[in-house]
Amino acid sequence: MDSSHSDSRGAASAREALGAIGADRRRLAERFTAETWWVAPAQAFAVAAMIAAPAVGVAGLMSVVTGLAALALFGIEHQFRKRTGISTNRPAGPASLAVLMVLCTTIAAAFVASLVLASNGELSWIIALASAEFIVMLVGVAIYDRSYARDLRRAN
């Protein structure tokens, strides 16, 4: 009798622990999406600056602008991690991984296209491309945040 009694207590304890984990995941997901209002525009601006960097023409100055934009992205991630305790560079599941891969691919493709446009002297197209990438990142970061939160809630 004692063994069945301890088994039921163990099962109840396990259910309670799983419930607490689920509640923690929901709270983390809420904290994660609550910060989108400032993270998405900041990251979108930094990426747009990186894409527009080849428009300055001089390789040294382009490197400085690109480096500063990259530092801004790292700083944004650091501030987000300090405020939420969550690192955004590790997807929580398949949906957030897919969105992150698409965002990284668009950034790389836009930067290469910007370099090609700069070598052809098409500065106005670089600005248009940077503006388009700003919008893609603004929307994409919000989608990533929601996908991350959804993946976080689902993971058990």
Q: Is the pLDDT of residue 1 over 50?
A: no
Q: Kindly list the domain boundaries of the chain, sorted by start residue.
A: 2-154
Q: Supply the pLDDT for residue 33.
A: 61
Each residue's pLDDT tens digit, 21-66:
666 666 666 666 666 678 889 999 999 999 999 998 777 888 899 9
Task: Kindly provide the b/e burial profile for residues 16-45, where b requires at least 16 CB atoms within 10 angstroms of the residue's own CB.
Answer: eeeeeeeeebeebbeebbebbeebbebbbb
The alpha carbon of 37 is separated from its chain's Cα centroid by a whole number of angstroms, namely 13
Q: Is the pLDDT of residue 16 over 90?
A: no
**pTM (two decimals):** 0.75
Averaged over 69-90, what is the pLDDT?
A: 82
Q: Is the pLDDT of residue 94 over 80?
A: yes
